[in-house]
Amino acid sequence: MNFYKELELILEAKASDAKIEMFDKFYNLYKLGVVTFEKVHIAKEFHSPSYTAICKVVAPQNVPKRSNLITKEGQITLLHAIAHIEYSAIDLALDGAYRFFGLPKQYYDDWLKVADDEIKHFLSLEQLLHELGANYGDVEVHNALFEASQRTQTLLERMAVVPRYLEANGLDATPLILSKLQKLPKNEMIEKIISALNIILKEEIDHVKKGDLWFQYACKQNSVTSEIYFEIIQKYYPQGFLRAKSLNTKARKEAGFSCHELNFMAKENIC
């Protein structure tokens, strides 16, 4: 089994169950050491995300709002939005392994492990959707994460944007969602959602940390300092970062962000 060819097939798989089954088979063989790396690899440009066969894609402002979380409909909307992030993150991790050629084996180990984690996250959220009588694909979604992968075609920019910006923003956003859920009247589904989000939050810290490691590696390879991070983010996301009070300082520090970076993001001294 060839590494890049197989990842290309997995990335192109349209059905979620087929994609996950293909990845599981591939990943088990990879861990056994029987997957071979091709000597030459030219990555394919993907023009649309694999989930277009499952989900209706709309502009970000037209995605249903996550509100009224005490209702079944509100819980479905919330779970679907997060499940879509996790499903998109599967392809982001796989594309990170597929697109960038000739890196240390640890790089590929790391991003296949991230993909495996994202699959587990997606499946746990999909199970909760099923318990509510819904499926992935029942709610409109946007393409923001896929578009981020299209725009970032170098390792330096990919590591800055995907793990160190988009996933790191999740470290900030998830505690805010958890806080809202914890204030609601207790019921079994709310408790299950809280449990799933706590697991995701803990494991996403490791994903951002892996991104930080390979961002630093890419900085050295390109003979630039890590300060270029802010230039890259300004280029793609001129709106910048969340307000200081929303930054998850503890999680971001654990994931590799320095106090200098956090203070710069917050525009005040927060650590």
Q: What are the pLDDT digits (tens) for 100-118?
A: 999 999 999 999 999 999 9
Domain 3-266: assigned CATH number: 1.20.1260
Interior/surface letters 167-195, b for 16+ CB within 10 angstroms, e for the rest: bbbbbbbbbebeeebeeeeeeeebebbbe
Please give the pLDDT value at position 245: 67
CB 8 within 8 A of CB 97: no
State residue 244's pLDDT score.
Answer: 58
Task: Kindly give the parts of the chain with pLDDT less than 70.
Answer: 242-245
State the DSSP H helix or E strand holding residue 9, giving kind and residue range, or none if neither.
Answer: helix 3-12
Tokens of residue 246, six digits: 């929303």
How far CA 211 is from CA of 59, 110, 127, 199, 264, in Å, comes to 28, 9, 28, 19, 19
The reported pLDDT for the residue numbered 33 is 96
* Helix/strand/coil for 150: helix
- Check residue 243 and give its pLDDT: 63
What pLDDT score does 200 carry? 97
* Averaged pLDDT of the chain: 95
What was the pLDDT predicted at 246? 84
Within 100-248, where are the H helices?
105-131, 144-151, 155-161, 168-182, 188-221, 228-236
pLDDT score, position 231: 95
